[in-house]
Structures are given as C-alpha cells and as structure tokens.
Amino acid sequence: MSDLVPKPKPRPAPESLPYWQAAREHRLALPKCEDCQKSWFPPSRTCPHCLSTKFSFENVSGKGKIFSFVTFHRVYRPAFTADVPYVVALIELDEGPRLLSNIMGVTHDQVKCEMRVEVVFDDYDEDISIPKFKLV
C-alpha cells in the first residue's frame, strides 16, 4: 500500500525558499545574521538571537553530531509503512544550529547520541531535495 501512497511533499514558506533552493542544488544553506553573526534554523524573518532583520543565507558544512533522536516503530502515515522502524534525529551542526532530520544508511539500533554525521540529499522530485544525514 505504501507504494501507492506518496510521502508528503514539503511546502516551503516564503522565508524558507532560499533554504529549499540550496537543498535542490545539494547545498545546506542557513540564515546568518549580519549583526550578531549567528546562524539559525528553521529560517525566519528575524534573527532569534538579536531580532535583527538583516541576514543572508550562507552555506554551512553540513557536518555535525546527533544531539538526540527517536525511533519510530509505529506507522502514523501509510506512506511510511516500508520505512518503519526509522530514526528522526536532532542534528547539532558544527556551526551551532540544530535541525530535525533522518539518519540514513544504518539500522535504527546502530544510532547513538554524539555520533558524527554529514548531510546527504534525498531528491523527492525535480523541485524538492530533502536534507538528511548519514554517519561519517
């Protein structure tokens, strides 16, 4: 049944378009404040650190570590039936921001906090690529 039900497609908000455009090019780009020089995720219209509205999207290394994670053993949406069990991890990038993603290429029981990871891109279709992570 999961082959017939497509996985949900991300719907970028206006403030996240540069993030998704970079991902389509297999780059990880995050907003970086011009005033306090800090990066953040998810993208927003103001810096959450100093409330400045002056920022630009800059490429980041895509490397970091698993800060925390959960393994899903239950099917909540039919499109994910073939993926269960799967890991959703909070990735702490070397640049500081944290983002939620999946860990690819390993079984769920191999994942541990503090493991080093790097970004890979899952091409959903010709318009969307989803940043995911693999162990380094």
> Can you tell me the distance from the alpha carbon of 87 to that of 84, in angstroms, rounded to the nearest whole number?
9
pTM for the model stands at: 0.91
Instruction: Enter the tokens of residue 104.
Output: 């690819």
- Pair 102, 88: CB distance under 8 Å: yes
Q: What is the pLDDT along the chain (136 residues), one digit of tens a residue?
A: 445 788 999 999 999 999 999 999 999 999 999 999 999 999 999 999 999 999 999 999 999 999 999 999 999 999 999 999 999 999 999 999 999 999 999 999 999 999 999 999 999 999 999 999 999 9
> Can you tell me the distance from the alpha carbon of 28 to that of 22, in angstroms, rounded to the nearest whole number?
6
Select from 116, 90, 93, 102 the least CA-distant residue to 40.
93
pLDDT of residue 5: 84
> Can you tell me the distance from the alpha carbon of 36 to that of 129, in angstroms, rounded to the nearest whole number?
30
